[in-house]
Amino acid sequence: MNIHLKREQYETLLKLVQYGYWIASSDQETNEAQAFGEMEQHILSLAKDFGFDGVEWDEEYNLYDMTATCKNDIQQVIDQYEEMVFKDKLAYYLARRDLAHEMAEHVYDEERAFERIVELEEEYHLHLEKHGVSHLQIDKIK
């Protein structure tokens, strides 16, 4: 099977492969991570065929790698994604914690509990958007 791509489509595919490989390779112990690494190398090896100069051969490691500029562009997107996920998860877990404390004193039916956790999450999202983590404090570490 052949897939015909334009240069711009190849660049988009390359970015998708990099984002996916970044997630997949976070667990180095899986067989899939190795297969993904092989696929990444295959896609990177096609760069010259598409006239894309954002990939270079690394003699030291004997593999294809993206240029520093391309890596930086990819890393910026990954950093933004990680920041969004961090804030979203933090708001979610803090809201769940607060709801558990509230439910020790109040009885909420399932619908009200869901509404309340959404309210609490929204409060934390707004707080994190305004202040980041600078106002967060851990009282005790046991």
Alpha helices in 1-135 (DSSP H): 7-24, 31-45, 68-105, 110-131
Residue 62, burial from CB neighbour count under 10 angstroms (0-12, 13-18, 19+): exposed
Distance CA 78, CA 74 (A): 6
**In angstroms, rounded to a whole number, what is the distance separating the alpha carbons of residues 25 and 35?**
10
Q: How far is CA 82 from CA 13, 27, 87, 112, in A?
A: 21, 16, 9, 31
Q: What is the pLDDT of residue 61?
A: 96
Compute the chain's Rg from CA coordinates. Answer: 22
Strands 63-66 and 55-58: antiparallel
* Whole-structure pTM value: 0.79
Walk along the chain (142 residues) and give the pLDDT tens digit of each residue.
Answer: 889 999 999 999 999 999 998 888 776 667 787 888 899 999 999 999 999 999 999 999 999 999 999 999 999 999 999 999 999 999 999 999 999 999 999 999 999 999 999 999 999 999 999 999 998 888 877 6
pLDDT for residue 28: 66
CA 40 → CA 2, 17, 25, 58, 83, distances in Å? 17, 6, 11, 14, 25
Contacts of 43 (CB under 8 A, 6+ apart): 13, 14, 17
Spatial distance between the Cα atoms of 78 and 73, rounded to a whole number of angstroms: 9
